[in-house]
Copies of this chain bind each other. A is one copy, B any other.
Amino acid sequence: MLLNRMSWPDVKRARIAQKVVVLPLGSFEQHGPHLPFTTDTDIVTGIARALERKRPGKILLLPTLWVGHSTHHLTFPGTLSAHQMPYIQLLVELCGCVAGMGAKKVFLLNGHGGNDVPARAALRELKCAFPAVRFVFASYWSLAAKTIRAVRESGPGGIGHACEMETSLMLHLHPDRVKMSLARRDGPRHADAYRRVDMQHARPAYFVEEFHEMSKSGVIGDPRLAAPEKGKRFFEGIVAEVGVFVEAFAKW
């Protein structure tokens, strides 16, 4: 079910307590010279819609929040972002509305790395406010690690931001929004393992770097390896793996 196309009496009849309510979290931030600001939002919306299409009776899909926490991208003009604390507050507000309409299971499906810390912080606030509602947060790349490892061709550092994977996904979902001729590899090349940047590399130590400290172009990874067919494989694998999680979550 798409909340977008419903009215309040529809919601009243919808037995929300028995659904998994999905709130996709995007961003509006620079994605290098070859991808639009909406990249994260476009991708996570695509994934969420596909998920819902397969389980229309189980999922209530909310609109994608296109404002993300992108403070680290603000030196690249065009980025629209909320700082950490207002972003946490915004998530708490929206999730509070969802709890208020009777939801018991709420899945924040994330499409932007910068949302990770503040969304986790928001979940702590929500647990205090709504102890009986289950709020779960996951980034699609965490749930779909297997797929990504299987499909990617790049080595460490190839998948980061506006990279092999995101560019492929956009070529699959919105080819008209990609300017492949401008795609370039970029990103830090530290010898030091603690500082390696890759969406599939969990750093043992955490620190904050602004994006301009790591990349001149706004890209981290290798978008030259992107292709529409690869995007299709990423997409279908991600949708399947995220779907496995949703099925499990529905049974908690």
What residues make up the interface of A, taking CB atoms closer than 8 Å to B? 3-12, 16, 28, 30-38, 62-63, 65-67, 71, 74, 76-84, 86, 88-90, 92-94, 97-98, 100-102, 117-121, 123-128, 131, 134-138, 142-143, 145, 177, 179, 182, 192, 194-195, 202, 204-210, 218, 245, 248-249, 251-252
What residues of chain B lie closer than 8 Å to A80, measured between beta carbons? 3, 62-63, 94, 97-98
What residues of chain B lie closer than 8 Å to A138, measured between beta carbons? 204-206
27 contacts between A and B (CB under 8 A): A3-B78, A7-B32, A8-B30, A8-B77, A11-B77, A28-B63, A63-B80, A67-B90, A71-B124, A77-B101, A78-B101, A79-B101, A81-B97, A86-B92, A88-B121, A123-B208, A124-B208, A127-B210, A131-B210, A135-B207, A135-B208, A136-B205, A145-B204, A194-B245, A194-B248, A202-B202, A205-B249
Q: Quick check: B10 and A84 within 8 Å, CB to CB?
A: no
